[in-house]
Structure formats: structure tokens, C-alpha cells
């Protein structure tokens, strides 16, 4: 498995916390020296500078989207104080967080967006099993994406992680990554969520989604999470056209059970694709 893909996934999912080069190298499965050379050759960035630029880019986005508490943005970006955050922010963008918040625009900032991971096809896709899915009530965080911007989904999971096991009425420990409300231009909603028994006590800031009973083809993705785009691409570009099945107009989702390790990205997951019965 590509160590750069593993490193990119880990950085995108964890840049708001205390992450060292050693942490990234361990997840990537190579030495610090190997990672430093390979990452620089592949991306044009050093590992730690890329991570710093990504956390500050997302902080700038939060400020222009109306965040009122700069200290809270600083803490969520991995900085221990307003002063440390402001110094780093000014070094990156040439202006202060207060100035960006007041301006309400990212137009002049040298943002560093997430680097897309591997989307090539795989040659050994496991045959799916078929399931009659039960109704689900899902609660979580929702974002609207284009195909191009969807590389930021790991950062959305980073924001949602602290809420898992703390949502009223949560059922079980399985997490879901749900793609829904797609349009003809490739835009879609993505919800990081968990199942709940009902919506009555759910805080207003969370999205709610009812998933009706549906027939699914269920695929097991056993590789590192950074390779999920390859599996997805193979399912939709190769398996579905050749299968004789027709996709249903319903949400498709990733299902993360207890075997999945959100720290390392290992353990595998299931991909549920809705098909017409």
C-alpha cells in the first residue's frame, strides 16, 4: 500500500490534534527519513509544513464562515493559545485571524487544499454479498461537496470524532459515512454519523437522515482507508456496469464497525451500494 496515501489520510483526519512526524511515519509504515523524502517528491510539500498549512487553511475557512471565538478555532486547530495561533496564522497568510474574520473572504489567501488520494482501479475486487437493509435513523455532521472538494472528507470525520458515543439516543458503536442528495453536476451531501433510536433529543447542530429499507450490494474494503477511493471507483466504474444490477436512487454509505481503527486507518470497512430489487 502506498505510504503517501496513508500519510495523507492520517494528516487529513488528525491535523487538529498533536501529531508528530513519527506518528505519521508509523501509520505510513516507513521510517521518518523515507517518509520525508517520498512525501516531498510526491507532493512538493514537507510533511509537517503541509499539515501546518492544512490546519491553518481550515481555520481560515472557519473564520470566514462566521466562527466568533478565535481561541476556540485555535484550540480546534491544534494550538494551545491565541498568541501561538496568531503567530502561525500571520506567518502563513500575512494577516491576523481577526482581519480574515472581519473581511469574511478567502479570496486573497494562499490556501493549501487537501491533496487527492489514489483513485485508480483495483484488479481483485471481492464479490459482494447482498443484504436487505433495515430502516436507519442517522444523526451526524453534514457537508456539501463537489467531486473535487470531497478530498476534505477525512477532515470532516476529524470534527465528528469527539461526538461519537456522546449523541443522545445513539444505538451501538457503528459509524456511518453516508453520501446522499446527489445532483447532476456531481454535488452531494456527506454525513458522518451514528444510528439513533429517535430524533427527539438530538441537538439542533446535527443533521438528521432517515434511510428507508433498501436492497444493497455490500463490499468489504480490507485495505487501509486511504485506498477507499480505488475500491469505490472499481465498484462504480467496473462492477456495477458489468453486474446486470441497476443502482437505486437512495443513499450509499460506508459502515465502520468495531474492527476499524480510526487512529491507524486499518481494520477495514463495508461499502453499501443501493440496488434495485
pLDDT at 94: 95
Beta carbons of 220 and 227 less than 8 angstroms apart:
no
Question: pLDDT digit string (tens) for 258-274?
Answer: 999 999 999 999 999 99
Number of domains in the chain: 2
Tell me the CA distances in angstroms from 217 to 87, 179, 241, one per residue in order: 50, 15, 13
Question: pLDDT digit string (tens) for 5-61?
Answer: 999 999 999 999 889 999 999 999 999 889 998 888 888 888 999 999 999 999 999
- Within this chain, do residues 154 and 254 fall inside the same structural domain, yes or no? yes
Q: Whole-prediction pTM value? A: 0.81
Of 52, 85, 103, which closes a domain? 103
Beta-bridged to residue 258, according to DSSP, are none
When pLDDT is cut at 50, 70 and 90, the band that residue 178 belongs to is very high
User: Could you give the CA distance from residue 199 to residue 157 in angstroms, rounded to a whole number?
Assistant: 21
Classify residue 267: in a domain, yes or no. yes
User: Could you give the CA distance from residue 19 to residue 250 in angstroms, rounded to a whole number?
Assistant: 38
Strands (E) in the chain, as ranges, are 129-133, 136-145, 170-180, 188-196, 207-211, 214-221, 252-256, 269-274
- Within this chain, do residues 138 and 270 fall inside the same structural domain, yes or no? yes
- Within this chain, do residues 8 and 97 fall inside the same structural domain, yes or no? yes
Amino acid at each position: 500500500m502506498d505510504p503517501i496515501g496513508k500519510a495523507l489520510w492520517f494528516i487529513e483526519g488528525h491535523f487538529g490534534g498533536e501529531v508528530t512526524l513519527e506518528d505519521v511515519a508509523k501509520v505510513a509504515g516507513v521510517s521518518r527519513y523515507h517518509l520525508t523524502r517520498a512525501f516531498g517528491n510526491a507532493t512538493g510539500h514537507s510533511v509537517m509544513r503541509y499539515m501546518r498549512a492544512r490546519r491553518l487553511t481550515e481555520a481560515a475557512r472557519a473564520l470566514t464562515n462566521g466562527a466568533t471565538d478565535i481561541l476556540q478555532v485555535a484550540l480546534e486547530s491544534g494550538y494551545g493559545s491565541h498568541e501561538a495561533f496568531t503567530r502561525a496564522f500571520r506567518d502563513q497568510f500575512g494577516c491576523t485571524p481577526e482581519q480574515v474574520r472581519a473581511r469574511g473572504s478567502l479570496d486573497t489567501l494562499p490556501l493549501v487544499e487537501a491533496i487527492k488520494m489514489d483513485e485508480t482501479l483495483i484488479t481483485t475486487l471481492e464479490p459482494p454479498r447482498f443484504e436487505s437493509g433495515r430502516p436507519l435513523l442517522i444523526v451526524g455532521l453534514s457537508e456539501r461537496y463537489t467531486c473535487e472538494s470531497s478530498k476534505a472528507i477525512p477532515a470532516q470525520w476529524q470534527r465528528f470524532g469527539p461526538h461519537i458515543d456522546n449523541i443522545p439516543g445513539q444505538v451501538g458503536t457503528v459509524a456511518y459515512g453516508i453520501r446522499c442528495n446527489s445532483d447532476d453536476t456531481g454535488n452531494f451531501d456527506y454525513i458522518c454519523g451514528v444510528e439513533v433510536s429517535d430524533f427527539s433529543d438530538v441537538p439542533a447542530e446535527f443533521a438528521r437522515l432517515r434511510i428507508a429499507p433498501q436492497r444493497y450490494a455490500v463490499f468489504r474494503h480490507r485495505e487501509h482507508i486511504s485506498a477507499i477511493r480505488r475500491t469505490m471507483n472499481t465498484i462504480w466504474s467496473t462492477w456495477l456496469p458489468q453486474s446486470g444490477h441497476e443502482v437505486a436512487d437512495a443513499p450509499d454509505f460506508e459502515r465502520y464497525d468495531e474492527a476499524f481503527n480510526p487512529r491507524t486507518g486499518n481494520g477495514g470497512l463495508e461499502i453499501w451500494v443501493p440496488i434495485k430489487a
